[in-house]
């Protein structure tokens, strides 16, 4: 077994999409090797214990987008995956108030009415409009995006499906859809609501992971990207993976290995081995070489083609397109071991929204200002935070009575400005500490005593995420979710079918359609495409086929 060097397919990177692709290929009967640079798997879907007794979801922290078709095909529950939904959320204000989100319709209506009776009713129409967009887009997630310039039968049939779906919408809906896909979340919310706090609460999903502000065109789609998932059929619902997000990767690994998949950790790729325009295998940093006629990169498109493919193997136009692909770091992350449960003085005892996602931003203006600082190369003095305490629901995350807090922070630039220079290297330990102080100040709006409960804290700058996980600039989506790089434009026009100019070299990460988030769809789509086009006798079976 150890001596085996040749495989049917090699996947580079054991992130969740690499594992999904590998698991589907292995199920179809291929001999598959997955290579991973870290000593652990999961990429950004990972659980690690950095402080004894506590488990962090170090990068991604909540789950909704992961396709149920994939979970079912790969039997992930059988291999240990359990997704637990969480309830509600809240945005806290400096004057000691909060706006809570409840899944109970009338409770939510009463809550919004505290701020605006009109918005309470408008919410119903807003939710319906967003849900309609979700219903439109969901069927496209597990299909390839058609290349509109191609006359290949599979592109034509996908195009026909797209046109049919669009036609079914009718004139008005189609107009709304085109507007929605290109407009800003700020404008969309302004059209529906009058209350600033409500707008700020809802706008977060439009900017998470994106180097754009709430009034930048395209952010309405980013919100949709956060709403189109589901838990047990509840579209837009979010939850925790029991044991942290690494539980998803672990279940995928078990499923992959059950079908004789082989995994090699601890050494990253040095170069793809390419001869005469065809991929032959991979050469690892530790000197090992493995061979396969199919190599699938789970790394982002920039890292794959600019760092690990010899430049002469790629056409100039392609290289140029890869270089201009936007993959800007915009966020940081804090993972905190809490001793006991800190007080949220404005919340009632046992409030359900403390078990959901919590924020401390009061207006769209505040969010836009936070974005302005990012443009200037600074982290936001009043950052947008998306914080959760999953240990309230998942008892495996912290010792009894203690808690684990995950804090997503936006904005933080990759190239930090110090004096007149902008560089990622400016992210020193002291500046990470200073960033965390800004974040803790912001959290203090909701939870003034947070600092006295901190037992351990992991602070992750965009640079540090890039170094550890491999995401270029620490961009959580492997490339921004804007219309110029979505759908048939993702990652690069003409290459939305997971292929590349190098024969046999594919990519399957979030840089590809339908984009980022722990969704698994890019991995499944890549596997399906590979089996359809590269294998005569092996087929993908199941719901994602």
Partner 1 sequence: MSITTDPKIGLIDGPFQRQLEALSQSRSWYNWAGYAAPSTLDCIEFEYFALRNQASLFDISPLFKYRVKGSEANKMLNRLVTRDVNKIKVGRVAYAIWCNQDGMLIDDGTLFHLGNCDWRLCCQEPMLDWLLEAAWGFNIEIIDESATVAGLSIQGPTSYSILSIAGFTLDNIKPFDFYQDRNGVLISRTGFTGDLGYEIFFPHEKASDLWDLIWNSGSDLGLRAIGYDAVNIARIEAGFMTAGIDFMPVQSTEYLHRGQTPFELNIGKLVDFKKGHFNGRRALLDLKDKPRSCLLRFDVGGFKPADSALIYHKKKYEVGHISSGIWSPTVKKSIALAHIKTQYRNSPALFAEIYTLKEGQWIKRMEKMVENKSPFYAPPRAKQTPPFKR
Instruction: Confirm or reject binding of residue 317 to partner 1 (CB under 8 A).
Output: no
Total residues contacting partner 1 by CB under 8 A comes to 25
Task: Establish if 406 lies at the interface with partner 1 (CB under 8 A).
Answer: no
Of residues 140 and 379, the one with the C-beta less far from partner 1: 140
Stretch in the footprint of partner 1 (CB under 8 A) among 177-185, 230-238, 255-263, 454-462: 230-238
Buried b (16+ CB within 10 A) or exposed e, 21-36: bbbbbbbbebbbbbbb
Under rule CB under 8 A, residue 277 binds partner 1: no
Q: Is 110 in the site for partner 1 (CB under 8 A)?
A: no
Does 394 bind partner 1 (CB under 8 A)? Our answer is yes
The correct pick among 23, 28, 46, 87 for binding partner 1 (CB under 8 A) is 87
Residue 242 binds partner 1 (CB under 8 A): yes
Q: Please report whether residue 400 would count as binding partner 1 according to CB under 8 A.
A: yes
Interface with partner 1 includes 349 (CB under 8 A)?
no
Say whether residue 257 binds partner 1 (CB under 8 A): no
395 binds partner 1 per the rule CB under 8 A: yes
Can you state the angle between helices 171-182 and 153-169, rounded to 10 degrees? Answer: 110
Single out the segment in contact with partner 1 by CB under 8 A; choices: 73-81, 149-157, 361-369, 444-452. Answer: 73-81
Scan for tokens 């990429």, then name that residue.
43
* Per CB under 8 A, 72 contacts partner 1: yes
The pairing of strands 294-297 and 9-12 is parallel
The partner residues of 262 in beta bridges, in order of sequence, read 33
Assess 393 for contact with partner 1 (CB under 8 A): yes
| Partners of residue 359 on adjacent β-strands | 91
Phi, psi (rounded to 5 degrees) for 300: -70, 165
Enter the tokens of residue 298. Answer: 């789970």
Please report, for residues 135, 225, 418, 427, the alpha-carbon distance to residue 378 in angstroms, rounded to integers and kept in the order given: 38, 26, 8, 11
76 binds partner 1 (CB under 8 A): yes
**Site for partner 1 contains 315 (CB under 8 A):** no
Q: Is 104 near partner 1 (CB under 8 A)?
A: yes
| Least distance CB 520 / partner 1 (angstroms) | 13
Contact pattern from residue 24 through residue 63 relative to partner 1, giving x for each residue in contact according to CB under 8 A and a dash for the rest? ----------------------------------------
Question: Is 417 near partner 1 (CB under 8 A)?
Answer: no
Over its C-alpha atoms, the chain yields an Rg (Å, rounded) of 23
The beta strand positions in 276-397, using DSSP E, are 278-284, 289-291, 294-297, 331-338, 357-359, 384-388
Q: What are phi and psi of 14, to 5 degrees?
A: -100, 45
Q: By CB under 8 A, tell whether 540 contacts partner 1.
A: no
- Please pick, from the candidates 276, 401, 536, 537, the single residue that binds partner 1 as defined by CB under 8 A: 401
Q: Which residues of 370-398 are buried (b: 16+ CB within 10 A; e: fewer)?
A: bbebbeebbbbebbbbbbbbbbbbbeebb
When asked if residue 129 is in the footprint of partner 1 (CB under 8 A), the reply is no
Binds partner 1 by CB under 8 A, chosen from 103, 150, 307, 535: 103
CA dihedral 248, 253, 255, 256 (to 10 degrees): 140
Report, in Å, the least distance between residue 400 CB and partner 1.
Answer: 5
Helices 185-192, 196-207: axis angle to 10 degrees equals 150
Backbone φ and ψ of 534, nearest 5°: -110, -5
Q: Which residues bind partner 1 (CB under 8 A)?
A: 68, 71-72, 76-78, 82-85, 87, 103-104, 231-234, 242, 392-396, 400-401
């Amino acid at each position: 077994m150890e001596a085996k060097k040749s495989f049917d397919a090699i996947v580079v990177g054991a992130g969740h999409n690499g594992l999904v692709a590998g698991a589907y290929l292995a199920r179809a009967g291929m001999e598959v090797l997955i290579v991973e640079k870290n000593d652990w798997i999961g990429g950004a879907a990972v659980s690690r214990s950095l402080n004894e007794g506590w488990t962090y979801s170090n990068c991604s922290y909540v789950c909704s987008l992961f396709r149920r078709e994939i979970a079912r095909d790969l039997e992930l529950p059988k291999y240990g995956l359990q997704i637990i939904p969480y309830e509600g959320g809240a945005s806290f204000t400096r004057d000691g108030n909060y706006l809570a989100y409840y899944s109970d319709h009338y409770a939510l209506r009463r809550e919004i009415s505290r701020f605006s009776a009109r918005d309470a009713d408008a919410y119903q129409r807003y939710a319906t409009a967003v849900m309609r967009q979700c219903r439109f887009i969901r069927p496209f997630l597990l299909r390839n995006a058609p290349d509109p310039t191609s006359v290949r039968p599979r592109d034509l049939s996908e195009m026909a499906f797209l046109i049919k779906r669009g036609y079914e919408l009718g004139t008005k809906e189609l107009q709304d859809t085109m507007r929605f896909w290109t407009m800003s979340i700020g404008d969309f919310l302004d059209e529906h609501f009058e209350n600033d706090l409500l707008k700020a609460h809802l706008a977060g999903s439009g900017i998470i992971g994106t180097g754009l502000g709430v009034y930048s065109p395209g952010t309405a789609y980013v919100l949709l990207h956060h709403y189109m998932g589901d838990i047990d059929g509840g579209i837009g619902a979010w939850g925790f993976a029991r044991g942290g997000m690494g539980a998803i990767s672990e279940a995928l690994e078990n499923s992959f290995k059950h079908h004789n998949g082989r995994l090699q950790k601890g050494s990253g790729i040095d170069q793809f081995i390419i001869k005469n325009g065809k991929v032959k295998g991979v050469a690892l940093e530790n000197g090992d070489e493995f061979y396969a006629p199919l190599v699938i990169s789970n790394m982002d498109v920039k890292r794959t083609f600019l760092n690990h493919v010899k430049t002469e193997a790629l056409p100039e136009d392609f290289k140029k397109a890869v270089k201009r692909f936007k993959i800007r770091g915009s966020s940081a992350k804090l993972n905190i071991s809490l001793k006991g449960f800190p007080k949220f003085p404005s919340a009632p005892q046992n409030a359900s929204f403390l078990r959901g996602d919590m924020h401390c931003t009061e207006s769209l203006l505040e969010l836009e200002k936070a974005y302005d600082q990012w443009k200037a190369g600074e982290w936001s003095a009043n950052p947008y935070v998306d914080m959760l305490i999953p240990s309230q629901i998942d008892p495996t995350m912290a010792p009894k009575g203690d808690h684990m807090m995950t804090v997503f922070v936006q904005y933080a630039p990759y190239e930090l400005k110090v004096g007149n220079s902008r560089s990622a290297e400016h992210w020193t330990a002291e500046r990470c500490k200073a960033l965390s102080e800004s974040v803790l100040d912001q959290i203090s709006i909701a939870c003034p005593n947070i600092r006295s409960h901190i037992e351990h804290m992991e602070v992750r700058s965009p640079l540090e995420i890039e170094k550890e996980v491999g995401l270029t600039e620490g961009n959580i989506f492997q490339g921004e979710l804007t219309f110029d790089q979505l759908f048939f434009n993702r990652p690069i026009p003409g290459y939305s079918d997971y292929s590349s100019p190098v024969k046999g070299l594919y990519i399957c990460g979030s840089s590809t359609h339908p984009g980022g988030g722990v969704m698994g769809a890019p991995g499944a789509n890549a596997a399906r495409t590979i089996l359809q086009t590269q294998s005569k006798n092996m087929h993908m079976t199941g719901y994602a086929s």
